[in-house]
Structure 1
Amino acid sequence: MRTLFKTFLLVITFFTLTNINAQNETNKSNYFQISPRVGYDFPTYNNNTPYIDYKAGLEAGISLDYYWKWFGIGVDFDYIKNKPESTYPTENLIGSGGLITNFNLSEASITRMFYGIGPSFKYENQQGNLVGELNTRAGLGSIKGGRTLLTDAGTNDLLNFHAGYNAKNVISAKAQARITYFFNKTFGVHAGAYYLRHFDVTETLDSGLGISAGYHPITTMDGQNMLDRSGPIVREAPCDCDIASVGVFAGLTIKLDKKVCSVCGLDHFPHCCATCGCGVTVTAKDKFTGEILPNTAIVLSDINGNIIQSGTTNSYGVVVFNDVEPDNYIVKGKLYTIDLEETSITKAEFKDCKADGSTIQKVIVYADENYILKGNVVECNTADGIKDVAILLKDKINAKQKNTISNTEGNFIFHLKQASTYALNGKKDGYFSNEVEVTTDAYNRNSSLFIDFEMCIDPCGKAIKLENINFDLDKAIILPAAKPDLDYVVRLMQENPNITVEMSSHTDSQGSDEYNQSLSQRRADATVNYIASKGISPSRLIARGAGESELKNTKCTNNVPCTDEEHRINRRTEFKVVCF
């Protein structure tokens, strides 16, 4: 136990030095905490009775602490209950009348109580939710009970006896270490261990027997225990001996904040009122255009870099930090991975704030000279955003490229340099994309930070009409006016090498079904041949003549009079992408 006690003293010294060094690292407000606990106690009783084992037992207690930053003062109360157990050998015990088989045994529990006061030390992490504590206490204890008596039932001879204790106002000391995890600002759970020592505890003197302890000596021979009849019972006078124990415990911690406002000088317990601290309003703006910047991450930190509060600007580019205690601070911001120019708040500004009841106003600026492309990818001809589209951005002037993925709303962002031209392409399984361009030359950085941009991708299998694919009457020759639309298909297939295109030609209902089928097939073949002549593999092209089998204007069927405009709706060329 002496070694264990020395170990605790070393822990106390180390913890104290650690907290002295760490006091500048934490700047938490003063507070009061209540920590009830339950645990298990392992005792050591130094007395003159060798045949008693004092078993481990229940411990219950409570600690009350008040902290000023890392140092505090606290009081403890502990209730401990142990039970003595006689270990006097009773098997094969030979007395004056032979083998003793019947015994009388009484064992009374011991209760100990401790009341102590002393310093407390703590160290907590930057978030304040994990706290290590060391409590040292000095005080008084009381020890009652523990009378143990073993006799021979036949002769009533005393075999083993201890009168127990009835000691009050015993000088006691305790060292306790615990770790607390706080779920929020008020409630937490803790676990720990302690060492408790009661000094010079006087044993009870039994008035009937006239002794405090005694036992009958034993001689062991051939596996048998024999009462030593050569001498009298060993009788012991009351012993002023120490009682020590170690224990482990767990429990709840309730923290009640007490804030002292350094400006107003008022205590507010347990909650800090609105007069303590100041509000800090931070507005994020673009340096060149003066635009407000929503969704900008803002951090308020102390001069050591410890984060005090953080938030995101609202739709007006503003974030408000409440109840900021007077000190020197740094305000930092970040918009889409780009840092804003930081600003500072001095402690003197809080005095002005308290004088007129206003908030401290700060502006933090975005000074990057590049544009921010705020893109949105949708399905063509709809407003539905598409998530998880791989967006490729190519800088056509500087020969560089970037990649990103659209979010659940189909949104994505890129930072674009001034005076450059970019090509964007989107890829996703089941979709195909056209390459689109955006040129920053068309914008002025002094009047615009954001470039809003929408691009679309089409699902595979969707039929897309080519508006300018017209043929002369009864002909299947590609006209010059049709070539731009077919060149568009060529570019699409070059940009999406994993797709196959089906070219479909449709006619109106005028003429026989057989004639229209033949004519549409020849026209589909002509369009496919043109595309193949531009370097596209014929294996990626399908020519399909649909004739009049898939009328869009279903009113104009065979032998139904229609105007030429009505028939024109059915005369069309379409392409359909097949994705692999």
Structure 2
Amino acid sequence: MNNLKNTIKLFVVAFVCALSFTTNAQQLDNDINYFQLSPRIGYDFPTYNNNTPAIDYNGGLNLGLSLDYYWSTFGFGFDFDYIKNQPESVFATDNLYNSGGILISTTNLSEDGISRIFYGIGPNAQFRSKTGKFVAEINTRFGLASIKGGRTFLENAAAPNELLNFHAGYKDSGVFTFKGQVRFTYMLNNNFGINAGAYYMRHFGAQELVDPTLGISAAYYDTVEFTGPTGEFGQRLEEVNLREEACDCDISSVGLFAGITYKFSKNKKDDVCEVCGEDHMPRCCATCGCTVTITAKDKFTFEILPNTDVVLTDLYENIVQTGTTNSYGVVVFNDVSADDYIVQAKLYNVDLTETSISKSEFIDCKKEGNSIQKEIFYGDLNFILKGDVVECNTAIGIQGVDILLKDKNNAGQKNTLSNAEGDFIFHLKQTSIYGLNGRKDGYFSNEVEVTTSGLDRSESLFIDFEMCVNPCGQAIKLDNIIFNLDKWDILPAAQPDLDYVVKLMQDNPTVSVEMSSHTDSRGSNPYNQTLSQKRAESTVNYLMTKGITRDRLVARGAGETELLNRCADGVTCPESEHTINRRTEFKVICPQ
């Protein structure tokens, strides 16, 4: 009786723990008045209280099945368990001598397994998490068990064949049994779940057998320390303990298990019709849906958020409808049946704060004849850089440009590819400085800088930004490369433009550059050719002083061979038109 009291105390503690686990639980309509079937497999750890101190009982397989009915939090259930255990003789036979001082060299041993079959019924209590996905249960069962097997026989194989360790085993088919169980279930959907748990089982007064041939229930020898004929240390049989009367002793065990759960839930259409307040005619279920309007906004600026992916799921994470917010930050779900839902959303792979819709809101919706309105908020503290990469001096967006973003304050970097319109997205930390560089076969770009220092996240979420890439092989004029008359020295005014070329080559270490110098048509062709070549060499030499290797540079003097206007030999032109032809250009040569 004391054991039963202690067991009940144990499960009261487990009940309180499960209650605290689900303090915020809510009872859902489909969690009342239903059957639940839970097959399981586990491992049993037994304790046999009998007259065999030299026999251990090892753990073994447990196969079980629970059938439960829940009205709401409380229910009633039936359990079936099939358990296998194995006895193990632990009587020491090493250096063992019989009472005559003769070494026992060989023994005969047989060990029969024990099977226990339990049938029980009893009350349940369950507690569910807020979403209904996690369930904690306390199951108590009272019933009868059948216990059979376990005969263990160890004897000296030589005459006089002393019976060293013996137990007749069990054969009892009406053992009163208590079982207490804690089970935790994770519901994968409305019907299926996986479970795991633990149990305690106690068989009260299990009847041992009396061997009809030997006339005893159990026997074992006491031993004493013994020094053999040659001085070796050992044990010697001293006195045999015989138990003629069977023991009505308890057997207890604890076990761990895992399994699956199938819930026979009600038809959802019936729930919908009940919300409508009409009878259960098909017309009710066909007209009971409501419109759900979701608006996505930034938490800090309240800006509307277009292109936000929104998912409407039930409480078991089954997707009901999906959509993307329009230019007004709104997505509309039509004909949503009455139920409990979770609204989840992502903007550029960042989660928005989810919200919920309760079944009761659909009742108000039907009464008032309007839609259910919900807002979801973007709470990330980073800025969103909405970039656009175009071909320089055009508005043409370039697809597939590899945009590299370097965080200059925190030494981190990440990259993305521009889409078909040339758009790309980055998330930028506050008060930081970033460098962006675009790379694509046939194109190049300088690194450009973006800073979030001085920007206030409470005033804006988005940073609009445009960068450009130049096609390889396109001549680009350097406006400030001016030389004195008949000279080719690099003047201070030209250095910023040439430093621009240096930075470009540093940002794009695989490209080469052709520096070309051009003259107007005045003067002889040979003179102009020689002068322009010297000027091109001067620009290349300047770039080399900045660390650019010679094998990446080409100096080309074009003379007057590539005029940009009509001012050729023999044509009278004003000075302004001649100036157009006197220029220095560079052309990027991308690797093949």
Q: TM-score if structure 1 supplies the norm length?
A: 0.62
Shift of 1:323: 4.6
Q: Does 1:165 align with 2:170?
A: yes
1:108-123 pair list within 5 angstroms: 108-122=112-126
What code does the residue aligned with 1:294 have?
Answer: P
Q: Does 1:148 align with 2:162?
A: no
Q: Which secondary structure state, in structure 1, belongs to the residue aligned with residue 527 of structure 2?
A: helix
C-alpha distance in 2, partners of 1:456/1:335?
26
> Residue 281 of structure 1 corresponds to which residue in structure 2?
292
C-alpha distance in 2, partners of 1:22/1:283?
32
> Residue 518 of structure 1 corresponds to which residue in structure 2?
530
C-alpha distance in 2, partners of 1:136/1:264?
36
Q: Does 1:26 align with 2:29?
A: no
Shift of 1:53: 2.6
Output one character per residue of 1:330-365: Cα deviation in whole Å (capped at 9) or x when no partner: x89887899999999786541265689x98343759
Q: Does 1:16 align with 2:26?
A: no
Q: Which secondary structure state, in structure 2, belongs to the residue aligned with residue 505 of structure 1?
A: strand
Contact 1:284–1:296, Cα closer than 8 Å, also in 2: no
Note closer, same or farther for the CA distance 1:283–1:503 as it changes in structure 2 (3 Å cut).
Answer: same
Note closer, same or farther for the CA distance 1:163–1:22 as it changes in structure 2 (3 Å cut).
Answer: closer
Output one character per residue of 1:411-449: Cα deviation in whole Å (capped at 9) or x when no partner: 24899xxxxxxxx9955686226899xxxxxxxxxxxx9
Match for 1:199 among 186, 195, 204?
Answer: 204
Contact 2:384–2:425, Cα closer than 8 Å, also in 1: no
Match for 2:339 among 298, 315, 325?
Answer: 325
Match for 1:383 among 372, 397, 406?
Answer: 397
Contact 1:150–1:158, Cα closer than 8 Å, also in 2: yes
Shift of 1:318: 1.5
C-alpha distance in 1, partners of 2:93/2:462?
93
Note closer, same or farther for the CA distance 1:96–1:390 as it changes in structure 2 (3 Å cut).
Answer: closer
Q: Return 5+ residue gaps in structure 1 as ranges.
A: 267-272, 393-402, 416-423, 437-448, 478-484, 554-563
C-alpha distance in 2, partners of 1:55/1:341?
52
> Residue 556 of structure 2 corresponds to which residue in structure 1?
546
> Residue 243 of structure 1 corresponds to which residue in structure 2?
251
C-alpha distance in 2, partners of 1:310/1:69?
29
Q: Which secondary structure state, in structure 1, belongs to the residue aligned with residue 403 of structure 2?
A: coil
Q: Which secondary structure state, in structure 1, belongs to the residue aligned with residue 363 of structure 2?
A: helix
Contact 1:517–1:546, Cα closer than 8 Å, also in 2: no
What code does the residue aligned with 1:12 have?
Answer: F
Note closer, same or farther for the CA distance 1:129–1:9 as it changes in structure 2 (3 Å cut).
Answer: same
Shift of 1:199: 0.7
> Residue 586 of structure 2 corresponds to which residue in structure 1?
575
Contact 1:39–1:247, Cα closer than 8 Å, also in 2: yes
Contact 1:433–1:456, Cα closer than 8 Å, also in 2: no
Q: Which secondary structure state, in structure 2, belongs to the residue aligned with residue 79 of structure 1?
A: strand
Q: Which secondary structure state, in structure 1, belongs to the residue aligned with residue 397 of structure 2?
A: coil
> Residue 408 of structure 1 corresponds to which residue in structure 2?
417
> Residue 431 of structure 2 corresponds to which residue in structure 1?
none
Q: Which secondary structure state, in structure 1, belongs to the residue aligned with residue 224 of structure 2?
A: strand
Contact 2:138–2:181, Cα closer than 8 Å, also in 1: yes
Contact 2:60–2:84, Cα closer than 8 Å, also in 1: yes
> Residue 432 of structure 1 corresponds to which residue in structure 2?
446
Q: Which secondary structure state, in structure 2, belongs to the residue aligned with residue 116 of structure 1?
A: strand
> Residue 83 of structure 1 corresponds to which residue in structure 2?
86
Shift of 1:239: 2.1
Shift of 1:112: 0.4
Shift of 1:107: 3.1
Shift of 1:64: 3.5
Contact 2:217–2:245, Cα closer than 8 Å, also in 1: yes
Q: Does 1:56 align with 2:59?
A: yes
The range that moved more, 68-77 or 163-172, is 68-77
Contact 1:62–1:78, Cα closer than 8 Å, also in 2: yes
Note closer, same or farther for the CA distance 1:18–1:414 as it changes in structure 2 (3 Å cut).
Answer: closer
Output one character per residue of 1:344-399: Cα deviation in whole Å (capped at 9) or x when no partner: 9786541265689x9834375999xxx9995412342553143435599xxxxxxx
What code does the residue aligned with 1:431 have?
Answer: S
C-alpha distance in 2, partners of 1:201/1:313?
67
C-alpha distance in 1, partners of 2:322/2:251?
56
> Residue 396 of structure 1 corresponds to which residue in structure 2?
none
Shift of 1:96: 7.2
Contact 1:341–1:364, Cα closer than 8 Å, also in 2: no
Note closer, same or farther for the CA distance 1:546–1:217 as it changes in structure 2 (3 Å cut).
Answer: closer
Output one character per residue of 1:136-155: Cα deviation in whole Å (capped at 9) or x when no partner: 32222110122334456645
Note closer, same or farther for the CA distance 1:295–1:162 as it changes in structure 2 (3 Å cut).
Answer: same
C-alpha distance in 2, partners of 1:130/1:372?
36
Contact 2:406–2:436, Cα closer than 8 Å, also in 1: yes
1:204-243 pair list within 5 angstroms: 204-209=209-214, 211=215, 213-215=217-219, 218=222, 220=224, 222=226, 223-226=234-237, 228=239, 234-243=242-251
C-alpha distance in 2, partners of 1:308/1:75?
34
> Residue 45 of structure 2 corresponds to which residue in structure 1?
42
Note closer, same or farther for the CA distance 1:307–1:107 as it changes in structure 2 (3 Å cut).
Answer: closer
Q: Which secondary structure state, in structure 2, belongs to the residue aligned with residue 388 of structure 1?
A: strand
C-alpha distance in 2, partners of 1:545/1:497?
15
Note closer, same or farther for the CA distance 1:139–1:320 as it changes in structure 2 (3 Å cut).
Answer: farther
Contact 1:264–1:276, Cα closer than 8 Å, also in 2: no
RMSD over aligned Cα atoms: 6.5
Count of aligned pairs between the two proteins: 510
Contact 1:340–1:364, Cα closer than 8 Å, also in 2: no
What code does the residue aligned with 2:119 have?
Answer: Y
Shift of 1:50: 3.6
